[in-house]
Amino acid sequence: MQFMQAGQTMAQQFMEFLGKNAQAQGNQPPQIDPQALTALQKRLMDQQMSLWQAMLDKQKGAPQAFKVEPEPGDRRFAAPAWRDSPIYDYLHQAYLLNVRYLKEMVEVLPAQDDKARDKMRFLARQVADAMAPTNFAATNPEFIQLALETKGQSITDGINNLLKDFEKGRISMTDESVFEVGKNIATTEGAVVFENEVMQLIQYAPLTPKVGTRPLLVVPPCINKFYIMDLQPDNSLIRFLVEQGNTVFLVSWRNPMEAQGHLGWDDYLEHGPLAAISVIREMTRVKQINALGFCVGGTILTSALGVLKARGEDSVASLTLLTTLLDFSDTGEIGLFIDEQALTTREATIGQGGLLPARDLQNTFSFLRANDLVWNYVQNNYLKGQKPQAFDLLYWNSDSTNLPGPFACWYMRNMYLDNSLRVPGKLTMCGETVDLGKLDMPVYLLATREDHIVPWQSAYLSTRILGGKLRFVLGASGHIAGVINPASKNKRSYWINDDVQADADAWLAGATEMKGSWWLDWANWIKEHCGEQRAARKIGTTKYKAIEPAPGRYVRERAV
């Protein structure tokens, strides 16, 4: 009976959470239909009784007639300890029933619109994930088993891990002592050849005797460090780009501190891509370059190209956008954090100056996948006393960045909330009225099928905005793993379809699956836009001399 009541307790806590959230926004909390609630409670009671009876039958040697399985991909109860003991076997299945009840309750609650319903679903998932028996010592058989095997040492180690993380102010996801930026990650040879308050411009050393006439500018996201694209030699996208015969330049965004808290969107455009394009053209003496943007780096880059177009300049011959939003109609769960009230509060506090702290951004992204990026480490680090394994991608994930308040507020207001970038002439940036439809260069668009930050259907909407010849490619996996899919390993797959006139679902229905990495597909595409071959040149020029070796000092600055 206690486990049946647990479902009611979970639902009660969720409703209290909703009530406080509604009160904070000046709204009335949602009221569930009493008849619908009664029906849900009766179904939960019946299912719990069926589970209880099935467990009793199982103990008598009879087949278990009623069983509750985790959802696909849920590995929390995979250890044999959850099934070897009848207590924990019942406990985890009863929990799964309670989660099912909570999800069903959300669907019968009244909601103003789809976004409100999605927010309730998200909050319900957070409550359910937090209350999982895996997260508590008394209800986790793996914790008890390990404590007995180690004679309590795992408990001591877990407490020490917890104290260390308290000092750092964040959960440790990897053994950070193994990695050092510039030593065993972000090691592709190059040098900083230009810098300003916003970014350093890195030029990478050639790896081929000849290179294309047109250099390639890479604009990574400013929300994280650039070296996700240059982790280690065998999974470095930057190294791959250089190996394809490109003269590669990269914008390394500064990790802003209080002194940069005044910077806005226009500052990032003017002193980011626009400054980089000007310097690169001067250094290489070409009229046009190729450009590649990743995530919000792609949004910034495309906005900058819109500014150039409005100024009558065609400085970019081809554009590559990786998991980038230009149409923010559907932003996935990220958009649930951005509403009028929350944004108005931020605009009043940091909109005119100040920082959006790295910790806020990291927590937001982590709780999008709480079981993988939060509770998994609570269990392993603190309950089991384990030391996190060394993993370069998770080291990068922990190396978060701040954002200047004015930049962050402008971005959230005009992109996420108002979705203005897609509308011709609606936004003025750097003093220019921007129309992305006038960008007529060839474009390579990559989205990833399981992306929870940039839903692939939303990335596909860029085909309706840009004016040039488009190639849309859909990669497997998620926002990071789908992009960083080394050609040398040639894993996963990607989908291609030359018909981008259809809607997203029809495009996918008619697409062909190709085995391996999308990197090779892009390499063939970019060759058409590299220009004639010429002898590779050393880094820098007389005017733009090497300031310091790559990866530079900006990327080493950690948020405090």
Confidence category of residue 1, pLDDT binned at 50, 70, 90 = very low
Class of domain 190-357+402-556: alpha beta
Q: What is the pLDDT of residues 455-505, one digit of tens each?
A: 999 999 999 999 999 999 999 999 999 999 999 888 899 999 999 999 999
- Residue matched to tokens 């992306």: 451
Task: Report whether 445 contacts 419 (CB < 8 A).
Answer: no
Residue ranges matching CATH 3.40.50.1820 in the chain: 190-357+402-556
| 8 A C-beta contact, residue 275 and residue 430 | no
Q: Which residue has the higher pLDDT, 560 or 53?
A: 53
* Active-site position among 295, 409, 430, 530: 295
**Quick check: is 530 catalytic?**
no
Say what the pLDDT of residue 110 is. Answer: 87
Q: Is pLDDT above 50 for 388?
A: yes
Tokens of 140: 């986790």
- Residue 520's pLDDT band (cuts 50, 70, 90): very high
Report helix, strand or coil for 547.
Answer: coil
Q: Which two tokens stand for residue 112?
A: 């103003």
pLDDT > 90? residue 425:
yes
Q: What is the pLDDT of residues 315-339, one digit of tens each?
A: 999 999 999 999 999 998 888 888 8
**Res 63: pLDDT:** 82
Task: Provide mean pLDDT across the span 223-240.
Answer: 96
Residue 40 pairs with which residues in a beta bridge? none
pLDDT, residue 111, reads 84
- The rounded distance, in Å, linking the Cα atoms of 126 and 135 is 13
User: Buried b vs exposed e over 303-339: b needs ≥16 C-beta within 10 Å?
Assistant: bbbbbbbbeeeebbbbbbbbbbbbbbeebbbbbbbbb
- SS3 at position 81: helix
In the chain, pLDDT over 70 holds for what percent of residues?
Answer: 94
pLDDT class for 58, splitting at 50, 70, 90? confident
Express each pLDDT in 69-102 by its tens digit: 999 989 999 999 999 999 999 999 999 999 999 9
Q: Cα separation of 414 and 427, whole Å?
A: 8
Across 375-398, average pLDDT: 94
**Length of the chain as a residue count:** 560
pLDDT above 90 (res 242): yes
Averaged pLDDT for residues 6-21? 63
pLDDT at position 534, please?
96
pLDDT at residue number 23:
58
How would residue 57 be classed by pLDDT, with cut points 50, 70 and 90? Answer: confident
Of 43, 31, 49, the C-alpha closest to 109 is: 31
Average pLDDT over the chain reads 93
- Residue 490 pLDDT: 81
Nearest to 268 by CA among 180, 183, 199: 199
Residues 330-370 have pLDDT tens digits of 998 888 888 898 899 999 999 999 999 998 888 888 888 89
Distance between CA atoms of residues 270 and 267, nearest Å: 5
8 Å CB contact between 281 and 315: yes
118-132 pLDDT per residue, tens: 988 999 999 999 999
Q: Hey, how many other C-beta atoms are within 10 angstroms of the C-beta on 29?
A: 14
pLDDT of residue 7 exceeding 60, the answer is no
- For residue 313, name the pLDDT band (cuts at 50, 70, 90): very high
Using a CB cutoff of 8 Å and minimum separation of 24, what contacts does 484-488 make? 484/228, 484/229, 484/231, 484/235, 484/237, 484/393, 485/517, 485/518, 485/519, 486/234, 486/235, 486/236, 486/240, 486/517, 486/519, 487/240, 487/516, 487/517, 487/519, 487/520, 487/523, 488/234
pLDDT at 25: 59
Six-digit token pair at 327?
């149409």
pLDDT at 24 over 70: no
